[in-house]
């Protein structure tokens, strides 16, 4: 009997001594608008670049023209509502952007107080953006929110959107400060003034270089705040 118990104990110890298998590949979901989808045909979009950097498959549900404040159900089915792009899952990180189309098409980047408050309250606690982020946080994912691509100062049609965009990002930064699981990645210093190489020909969307540079900033944020 003693020998039997001793053998059982040794088996248990040997089982406990077996090293735990390494975790699988990082699970990343990308959501947002055309900033995320540009250059996809050439496989040089932001999700493609991030996938290469992280050496893992990045799933993207981003849709060109997507906004946070679309209300019609059909837009959610088409992925035009950024909140509807979310898919519940065991994500390590959810990387998203959005808000620029709401300001540009929703209020012409002019009198945007009403639209801004619907997107995110001045204290960062309420609105469409915090609600979307909360979906991912409830599933245990860390969230990285990517800011908008600034104009290089060479004739961008959204040049006048800068004040509204800056105000929106100030609110998102407040939200990120409330939750250590949320990181805001600003692109405000990414494009040197007068350098058009980070932009596509329309001076609104990123070139492959711009997509890659933004992905590099996000990868740095992930390394600084690992899951």
Give the model confidence (pLDDT) of 132-180 as tens digits.
Answer: 999 999 999 999 999 999 988 877 888 889 999 999 999 999 999 999 9
- pLDDT value of position 15: 37
Q: What is the mean pLDDT of residues 4-32?
A: 57
Q: What is the mean pLDDT of residues 11-40?
A: 71
- pLDDT value of position 5: 46
pLDDT band at 18 (very low <50, low <70, confident <90, very high): very low
Do 164 and 103 form a contact (C-beta atoms < 8 A)? yes
What are the pLDDT digits (tens) for 89-117?
Answer: 999 999 999 999 999 999 999 999 999 99
- pLDDT value of position 12: 36
Rounded CA gap, 67 and 74, in Å?
13
- pLDDT value of position 23: 64
pLDDT band at 44 (very low <50, low <70, confident <90, very high): very high
pLDDT band at 70 (very low <50, low <70, confident <90, very high): confident
Q: What is the mean pLDDT of residues 114-132?
A: 98
DSSP state of 67: B
Rounded CA gap, 166 and 209, in Å?
23
- pLDDT value of position 53: 98
Do 148 and 101 form a contact (C-beta atoms < 8 A)? no
Domain 25-224 carries which CATH code?
3.40.50.1110
* Residue 20 confidence (pLDDT) above 50: no
Of residues 211 and 150, more confidently modeled:
211
Tokens of 21: 């298998």
Q: Per 3-state DSSP, what percentage of the chain is helix, strand, and coil (rounded to 5)?
A: 45, 10, 45
Rg for the chain (alpha carbons), in Å?
A: 21
Could you report how far apart the first and last alpha carbons of the chain are, in Å?
47
CB atoms within 10 A of CB 74: 9
Residues contacting residue 222 through CB under 8 Å, at least 6 positions apart: 54, 93, 144
Rounded CA gap, 123 and 119, in Å?
12
């Amino acid at each position: 009997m003693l020998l039997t118990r001793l053998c059982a104990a040794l088996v248990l110890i040997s089982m406990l001594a077996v090293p735990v298998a390494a975790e699988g590949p990082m699970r990343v979901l990308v959501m947002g608008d055309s900033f995320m989808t540009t250059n996809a045909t050439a496989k040089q979009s932001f999700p493609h670049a991030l996938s290469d950097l992280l050496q893992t498959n990045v799933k993207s549900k981003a849709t060109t023209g997507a906004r946070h404040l679309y209300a019609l159900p059909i837009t959610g089915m088409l992925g035009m509502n950024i909140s509807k792009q979310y898919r519940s899952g065991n994500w390590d990180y959810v990387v998203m952007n959005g808000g620029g189309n709401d300001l540009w098409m929703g209020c012409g980047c002019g009198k945007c107080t009403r639209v801004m408050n619907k997107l995110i309250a001045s204290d960062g606690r309420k609105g469409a953006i915090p609600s979307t982020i909360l979906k991912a946080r409830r599933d245990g994912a860390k969230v990285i929110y990517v800011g908008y691509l600034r104009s290089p100062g060479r004739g961008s049609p959204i040049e006048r959107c800068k004040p509204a965009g800056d105000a929106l990002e100030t609110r998102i930064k407040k939200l990120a400060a409330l939750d250590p699981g949320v990181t805001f990645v600003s692109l405000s210093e990414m494009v040197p003034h007068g350098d058009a190489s980070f932009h596509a020909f329309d001076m609104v969307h990123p070139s492959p270089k711009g997509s890659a540079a933004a992905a590099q900033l996000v990868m740095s944020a992930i390394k600084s705040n690992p899951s």
